[in-house]
Amino acid sequence: MSSPASSPTSAPANCGLEVFWDERLISYDFGSGHPLNPVRVELTMALARELGVLDRPNVRMSEFDAADDKLLRLVHEEPYIAAVKHAGATGLPEFRYGLGTSDNPVFIGMHDASALVAGATVAAAEAVWTGRSEHALNISGGLHHALAGSASGFCVYNDPAVAIAWLLENGAERVAYVDIDVHHGDGVQAAFYDDPRVLTISIHETPRTLFPGTGFPNETGAEGTSVNVALPPGTGDRPWLRAFDAIVPPLLRRFRPQVLVTQHGADGHALDPLAHLTLSVDGQRTAYGLLHALAHETAGGRWIATGGGGYELVQVVPRVWTHLLAEAAGGPIPPRTPTPEEWREFARLRTEQIAPRRMTDGTDVVEVNAWANGFDPASPVDQAVLATRRAVFPEHGLDPMTDE
């Protein structure tokens, strides 16, 4: 069943997109065998190039600087920054700062690589906030688990949080952050938990079954601006999109952010080895279109997007994030588009894997079963959604059952 007419379905074409990319970004590398292999970003950019996304007339590829200590201190504590520098220079662990664990092994050049990721996302924020570009994207960003004083969950510096803090420092009064990674966006939530100027919405697998163990509906923050949708394992496209429809549009419409920041972890896919949701490339692509439309409807088109998690390096991440780049550029890729032979050969040479032949998992359109169609008390997803709506909707003057 389709969503009601009031729900966003598409965004205007020919949106100006600025992409912040530098080959040095793949130096954010925890080493052989680590799940966060930078080849996923390398393959994404190669696929986007082969499909012509990066050559569109409304897409600009831009340079940027690494984040300096002043920028990083907007979120991170000085002793932690010093520890990252020391560990990255010596290769020695700093366990009290979460550096040297199996999740966050130390690597030479770690500070420089991490600061470069943060700098790209701050540059994206500056491009949008100053009006130079309508949309901006750092596909290597989205390191949402890093905390003020420690690394966590493959994340050293929290680039989305640093970018949001930069926006607040430069005059933004309302910023919305929507995180659709399968893992809770705990670091961004923590950074702004007591700040009602920032609305954080995270849609993730329940912390009862997945790292980081946070993200329950009762974590509501200042004036209900911390929003968590904790979905049961096995949730697929249609119920996931129903949860999105029930939470994200009504809250963004009420909050009216000046800027929308989004994190697009691809690890909710059924093939991802580290989690238990069952989304498809097509379901994730649908979510990107909804977020794009909401950026235009609620934030004047000001949209800053990042990558995030995603550990199926060849079959999932490059296709999903190429769809994100194309959507942000205002020209979605038709789902059944073949992947270029040159790209498949490049993927084989880089990974010794056989790459997918089409940009779809087989579903051209995933329809949204809107929350307005009625609550199903027998549905675990509906129960999870209602718990979130009851926790935060009254704080925003919304009825948990009707949005009114």
State the catalytic residues.
145
**Residue 313: which residues within 8 A CB-CB, separation 6 or more?**
37, 39, 40, 43, 351, 353
Whether the Cβ atoms of residue 108 and residue 88 lie closer than 8 Å to each other: yes
Q: How far apart are CA 43 and CA 350, in angstroms?
A: 9
What's the Cα-to-Cα distance from 347 to each of 59, 313, 340, 350, 399, rounded to whole Å?
24, 10, 11, 5, 49
What's the Cα-to-Cα distance from 27 to each of 22, 56, 72, 198, rounded to whole Å?
10, 27, 19, 31
For residue 386 the two structure tokens come to 């209602």
- Which of 161, 167, 175, 141 has its CA nearest to residue 44? 141
Whether the Cβ atoms of residue 177 and residue 160 lie closer than 8 Å to each other: yes
Q: Taking phi first (over 0 means left), then psi (-120 to 50 degrees means alpha), and beta for anything else, what does residue 210 get?
A: beta
Whether the Cβ atoms of residue 357 and residue 339 lie closer than 8 Å to each other: yes
What residues does 75 pair with on adjacent strands? none
